Structure 1
Amino acid sequence: MKIGIIISTNDAETCWNALRYANFCLGQKDEVKIFLTGKGVEYQKISTEKFNTIDQAEKFLESGGKILACGTCIKSRDQEGSEMCPINTMRDMYEIIKESDKVVTF
């Protein structure tokens, strides 16, 4: 199954759970893509020892998952794109939603 995950929050626990869910889905042999939008592009900055979003994202990427992020949202926060938060567009979010069997938002 193809699963799209949209993260639009900068709440550490919520982002952490979204990434844990994404890793679980990969473990079920699903194809998973994450799109970060709005405050979701801040997920690396809000990582804590208890809710280690960076660790979960690294596991996700190493296991074949794909992370995309809204370039406008990144730039509006004076951030730069990176492997863990690459600059993409609304068209990319559209494609994820269009091609996914299920879409989950956090």
Structure 2
Amino acid sequence: MKLGIVISSNDPETVWNAFRLGKFALGQGDTVNVFLLGKGVECESLDTEHFAVTQAMQDLADSGGKIDACGTCLKLRNAGAGGVCALATMQDLYRLASESDRVLTF
């Protein structure tokens, strides 16, 4: 299955669980593409004592998942794409939605 995950939350627990699900899906043999949108582009600053968000992101990337971050949303926050994220556009989000078998939003 091709799984698309759109993250627009900056709640550490929600984001952490989204990446955990993505890594699990990769372990089941699925293809996983994540798109960070809106507040979701803040992922790399969400680590807490209980939720290692950046580690979950790295685990997904290391397992073969792809993570894109909305360039416009990053620009609005005066930020750039992080180490595991590629800079992306609405065209990339549209492609994720149109090519995925399932799209989940967090």
Task: Please give the range of the TM-score, normalised by the shorter of the 2 chains.
Answer: over 0.9
Query: Which structure 1 segments of 5+ residues have no match?
Result: none
**Structure 2 partner of 1:56:** 56
SS in 2 for 1:104: strand
Query: Which structure 2 segments of 5+ residues have no match?
Result: none
**Structure 2 partner of 1:90:** 90
Amino acid at match of 1:31: T
**CA RMSD, Structure 1 to Structure 2 (Å):** 0.8
TM-score, normalized by length of structure 1? 0.96
Partners of 1:105 and 1:96 lie apart in 2 by: 12
Q: How many residues align?
A: 106
Partners of 2:65 and 2:32 lie apart in 1 by: 6
SS in 2 for 1:44: helix
**Structure 2 partner of 1:104:** 104
**Percent identity over the alignment?**
50
Deviation (angstroms), 1:80:
1.1
Partners of 2:46 and 2:63 lie apart in 1 by: 22
**Structure 2 partner of 1:19:** 19
Deviation (angstroms), 1:83:
2.9
Partners of 2:47 and 2:38 lie apart in 1 by: 17
Partners of 2:49 and 2:56 lie apart in 1 by: 12
Partners of 2:102 and 2:22 lie apart in 1 by: 12
